[in-house]
Amino acid sequence: MKTEELIIDCDGHILEPADLWEKYIDPKYRERAMRIRVGEDGFEYLEIDRKRAKMTSPGLLGSLGGMGKKVEEARKLREDSTRGEVKPDQVRMMAPKPEDTYLKGAAFGTMVAKERLELLVREGMEKTILYPTIGLLWEAELFDAELSAAYCRAYNRWIADFCRDSGGRLVPIAHLSLGDPAEAARELERAVKDGCKGAFVCPFTITRVPHGDPRHDAVFAAAQDLGVPLAIHPTFEPASFGIHHRYDNFAWAAWYYDLFAGQGVQHAFGTLFQFGVFDRFPKLRVVVLESQAGWIGYFLDRGDAIFNGTTLGATVRLKEKPSFYFKRQCYISADPDERTIAAMMEIVGEDKFFWATDYPHPDHPGNYLEELKGMIAPMKESGRRAILGENVARAYQLM
């Protein structure tokens, strides 16, 4: 993308080495480290605390680095399905093969820091903020707070090392589990000292304590004191925690579930307002990731309306209306294919939006630079500069 403007990807991903947790985990947990195994069916699977992961379906690991792949195959299957030649449940995984392994599916720049830097140069980007891939899968299946914290520490050590010699162009973000808030706060402090520029949590908590609850204040206080943003990023979620239980025989509808994949993030974000986090921590910066951004207008309009105009607002532990705190302390990432963001900037503010590639994950298309040009075309020059890179650089103090 040819431009003189600062371009920063606010949410790119790496593919962790298969032996990361064995090498980087605290020695006392090494026997319980996460691993990639091969099952009797020949397919790779994720092993979490010595148990086969139930949510890692056959072929999934091999598809995680495949942004833009198998699109033509999917189109053919869709056509066959509309003619009744393929059953819907046969379309879902598109016949994965055991030879489609995690390593073979790794796209350029996902496992080697030098390659990722080359990709940035090729695409005209200054920096990318990096999040995990396997790290988005395991927490939904591990309800041991102590081991969860150990898994996070192992990843955080590794991602800091991965980015260390990049001259600041690869930006590491720490993974925190809220199972033990005091330990999460300690880990955030350690990770920031080691080079991490922020942290993320998943959209659920294994304790079922809402994100905004004061029992998590140690984490909010640490992020505020350290001056780093705290993000909410979508992950696999425990099936029993989800909202998709109203229909029977609908598990095959992968498009439908991905359409609403960001709702867990919205729920977690909403609890921060309900519990008054932004009054307790007025300098805390919160980032909403990979759940699109067009909904934020409705979210703030509706939140303000029921805060000011109904008795329901009495339950909210805030002094000001929600939009006040969003504009003061929050940021949201847009997908490049969103077309409402230029108009949304006029209402919410030019300084509130980021953009992201999600590279190399397969649930987003690979033509993100082309789509990005379309998204920024109707924006004012100030808004274009802001969303391309200035906002994220300011939020993460990168420049």
First to last CA, the chain: 21
Give the confidence band of 277 by pLDDT, cuts at 50, 70, 90: very high
Residue with tokens 């994720």: 46
3-state secondary structure of 202: coil
Q: Which secondary-structure segment (H or E) carries 352?
A: none
Counting beta carbons within 10 angstroms of the beta carbon of residue 208, is it exposed (0 to 12), middle (13 to 18) or buried (19 or more)? exposed
| Mean pLDDT, residues 250-271 | 89
Q: Which of 137, 133, 178 is nearest to 53 (CA)?
A: 137
Contact between 290 and 358 under an 8 Å Cβ cutoff? The reply is: yes
Higher pLDDT, 176 or 58: 176
Burial 273-298 (b: 16+ CB within 10 A, else e): bbbbbbebbeebbbbbbbbbbebbee
Phi then psi dihedrals of residue 129, to 5 deg = -90, 130
Q: Which residues make beta-bridge pairs with 47?
A: 35, 52
Average pLDDT, the chain: 92
pLDDT confidence of residue 71: 45
Contact between 33 and 332 under an 8 Å Cβ cutoff? The reply is: no
Gyration radius from the chain CA atoms: 21
Contact between 172 and 193 under an 8 Å Cβ cutoff? The reply is: no
Question: Residue 30 and residue 19: Cα distance in Å, rounded?
Answer: 11
Q: What is the pLDDT of residues 46-97, one digit of tens each?
A: 999 999 999 988 889 998 987 756 545 555 655 555 566 666 666 555 667 8
pLDDT confidence of residue 264: 93
pLDDT confidence of residue 1: 46
Give the confidence band of 365 by pLDDT, cuts at 50, 70, 90: confident
Looking at the predicted structure, is the pLDDT value of residue 2 above 50?
A: no
What amino acid is encoded at 189 in this protein? E
Prediction pTM value? 0.93
Question: Residue 16 and residue 34: Cα distance in Å, rounded?
Answer: 11
Whether the CA torsion 321, 327, 330, 333 is positive or negative: it is positive
Question: Residue 220 and residue 230: Cα distance in Å, rounded?
Answer: 8
pLDDT confidence of residue 362: 83
Q: What is the pLDDT of residues 228-239, one digit of tens each?
A: 999 999 999 998
**Measured torsion, CA atoms of residues 273, 278, 280, 285, in degrees rounded to the nearest 10:** 130
Map out the domains of the chain with their CATH numbers: 8-40+108-395 (3.20.20.140)
Residue with tokens 């696999």: 236
Question: Residue 300 and residue 315: Cα distance in Å, rounded?
Answer: 17
pLDDT confidence of residue 261: 85
* Distance from the Cα of residue 260 to its chain's centroid: 14
Helix, strand, coil abundance in the chain, percent, nearest 5: 45, 10, 45
Counting beta carbons within 10 angstroms of the beta carbon of residue 82, is it exposed (0 to 12), middle (13 to 18) or buried (19 or more)? exposed
Q: What is the pLDDT of residues 283-329, one digit of tens each?
A: 999 999 999 999 999 999 999 999 998 999 899 989 999 999 999 99
Looking at the predicted structure, is the pLDDT value of residue 180 above 80?
A: yes
